Chain A
Amino acid sequence: MREALEGSQAIARAVALCEPDVVAAYPITPQTHIVENLSKLVADGELHTEFVSVESEFSAASVVLGAAASGARAYTASSSQGVLLMAEVLFNIAGMRIPLVMTVANRAVSAPLNIWNDHADSMAVRDSGWIQLHCENNQEAVDTTIQAFRISQETDLPVMVCMDGFVLTHTMEVIDIPTIAQVRKWLPPFEFKRALDPSDPKSLGALVGPDFFPEVRHSHHAAVTKALPVIEKTDRSWARAFKRGCGGLLTTEGPKDAKIGIIAMGSTVGTLRSGLAKTEDAGVRLIKLRAFRPLPEEALREATRGLDHLIVIDRAISPGLGGILGTEIKAVLYGTPDAPRIHNHAIGLGGRDIPETIVGDLLSAIEDPDATPFSVFDADLTMLPPEDR
């Protein structure tokens, strides 16, 4: 049913529709209303789940790890510092190939203390071996959350649903929430073949020495890569059942013969689309990247074909390197004949508001002879002492 809902509330409803056996969360600052709403659904008797209020994010991640390892459908949510506090366990969850779902309400990481939206938190655990899917709007966040449970159990991998903190989590918009009957029909019951079972004892996360560790890593990498077709297939199946999709691995919009492309992840895509619509004859191909891990290399090469210039928008940076997505796209396109020139810009760090007029500025920067291959695009350098510029 279509309703006007706040993003966090909608995500709580979506999680409840998936009927998790265990939800564990610790509301560190900054938080969202997701687990608060889940807790309320449990208290109101609308959701029957083991809701575990733990004492830290580390424990929240540990509880869902243990729960899923014992064969339970498990969910948690976090943000910013909370994700960092979970980091050790997040690597364990992925390393043990435990299927579970987590929402990351993307926010900046301290210091300096900042509670606003960027992608520094999920980027910090980029290499943990989780699937990471980004959402443009709250409808996609709801749909991707439900899809994530199916992707997770089909791949035996944990899935991180990344949605922009505040910009999506605290925004009310019109969202279609599926019915429980629809979700029950579409989402198979949770099954984990390697679940711990006292009648058939086994170990998860045992010591693995150098004699087998590279093989473990190789197979983990292969498993995450093999999730690509599963992500696509799951979204197609969703689209058939619910008459809307989330864009599979990535989507492109704009003229086929475009020479300039812009690629971004998350809610920024909407603002860029709005800005492009107001830019006369922009002739720009807009690429929305949904799957960041696994990174869809083939689809990216296909989506950027024919472009002379590609503007890559990052919402986080790797100090000393520059843009993270930008660097990865360069790697993907390396060796591709006629690959576009990459213009990599970080925007909206720590919640700096992104106006739609930034589109014009980004396009102008292509021709700017003083433009650097990477920039924190909306930083006002005059605010810095000369030695820091």
Chain B
Amino acid sequence: MTSVIVGATARPYRSDTMIEYRIHGRGGQGSVAAAYLLASAAFEAGHTCQAFPSFGAERRGAPVTAFVRIDNQPIHLRSQVRTPDFLIVQDDTLLLDRGITDGLKPGGAMIVNSRRSDEDVAEAFSCRTKCIPATELALDYIGRPIPNTALLAAFLTMTGHLPVDALAAALKGRFKGAVLEKNLALVDAVAGMVPAGAWKESEDA
């Protein structure tokens, strides 16, 4: 589909390389910020990206969903992510809704902010699951209960999808001074806590 009749913008647009994410959290936890950070990190690593919230009437504590697409070519699709490759869950009480993994692609995985064990959480779901006590880590390192930096650091370390450096670069675009330093220290700490590349396989699949 390349010929052009009037005006002219013919572009290739079939994509088999797109990776889609869905982020679940609660209002005030920085879920939209997490989506923007992940997209910024993808951009820093040389990819195209798209991140957007699920456009609800947001209020503190209410479930919030955000979406990210990462590709190596222009992203035309604008609909909500229905079949994510990965889930990032910022609050483990959201797991009470069993539908949270709806649409997750076969071979997909879920990273959860939780003090529970991986096995405990995975039992109720049929996907690979990793739990990180991201709120506690955020309190320790940043002094605020915002789990997104820790979750993204863990996620990128495990998937190897983007270099963790790209997340650091994205954080540098968003924060300055002491807040930035604390976030970067948190990224380093988390990167040492999870098995690097453990989810890389599905990434290449």
Specify which of B5, B36, B52, B53 is in contact with A303 (CB 8 Å cutoff): B5
* Stretch from A11-19, A195-203, A271-279, A331-339 that touches the partner: A271-279
Interface centre among A116, A174, A276 (most CB of B within 10 A): A174
Q: Check A353 against B50 for contact (C-beta < 8 Å).
A: no
How many A residues touch B, CB cutoff 8 Å?
Answer: 44
Q: Check B10 against A172 for contact (C-beta < 8 Å).
A: no
A278 CB contacts on chain B under 8 angstroms: 14
**A180 within 8 Å of B by Cβ?**
no
Are A251 and B8 also in contact (CB < 8 A) when A4-B43, A115-B57, A170-B53 are? yes
A31 to chain B, nearest CB (A): 14
Q: Check B13 against A255 for contact (C-beta < 8 Å).
A: no
A1-37 Cβ-contact flags toward B at 8 Å (1 or 0): 0111010000000000000000000000000000000
Q: Check A253 against B6 for contact (C-beta < 8 Å).
A: no
Q: Check B39 against A253 for contact (C-beta < 8 Å).
A: no
Specify which of A172, A250, A268, A282 is in contact with B36 (CB 8 Å cutoff): A172
B42 CB contacts on chain A under 8 angstroms: 4
**B60 within 8 Å of A by Cβ?**
no
Q: Check A303 against B6 for contact (C-beta < 8 Å).
A: yes
CA A282 to CA B14, docked complex, whole Å: 13
Are A172 and B7 also in contact (CB < 8 A) when A271-B76, A271-B79 are? no
Are A247 and B9 also in contact (CB < 8 A) when A267-B78, A270-B78 are? yes
B76 CB contacts on chain A under 8 angstroms: 270-271, 273-274, 277
Specify which of B3, B14, B39 is in contact with A4 (CB 8 Å cutoff): B39
Interface centre among B3, B42, B48 (most CB of A within 10 A): B3
**A340 within 8 Å of B by Cβ?**
no
Q: Check A167 against B52 for contact (C-beta < 8 Å).
A: yes
B68-100 Cβ-contact flags toward A at 8 Å (1 or 0): 000000011111101000000000000000000
**B40 within 8 Å of A by Cβ?**
yes
Q: In the complex, how many residue pairs between chain A and chain B have their CB atoms under 8 Å apart?
A: 111
B62 to chain A, nearest CB (A): 15
Residues of B1-36 contacting chain A, CB below 8 A? 1-11, 13-15, 35-36
A173 to chain B, nearest CB (A): 5
Q: Check A167 against B4 for contact (C-beta < 8 Å).
A: no
A276 CB contacts on chain B under 8 angstroms: 1
B-to-A contact residues, CB < 8 Å? 1-11, 13-15, 35-36, 39-40, 42-44, 48-53, 55, 57, 75-80, 82, 170, 173
Please name 21 pairs of A and B residues whose Cβ atoms are closer than 8 Å in the assembled complex, sorted by A: A2-B43, A4-B49, A117-B55, A170-B52, A170-B53, A171-B50, A172-B36, A172-B51, A172-B52, A173-B49, A173-B51, A174-B48, A248-B7, A249-B7, A251-B8, A268-B78, A274-B13, A278-B14, A354-B79, A355-B79, A355-B82
5 extra interface residue pairs, beta carbon distance < 8 Å, beyond A270-B77, A299-B7: A3-B43, A171-B50, A173-B75, A277-B1, A354-B79
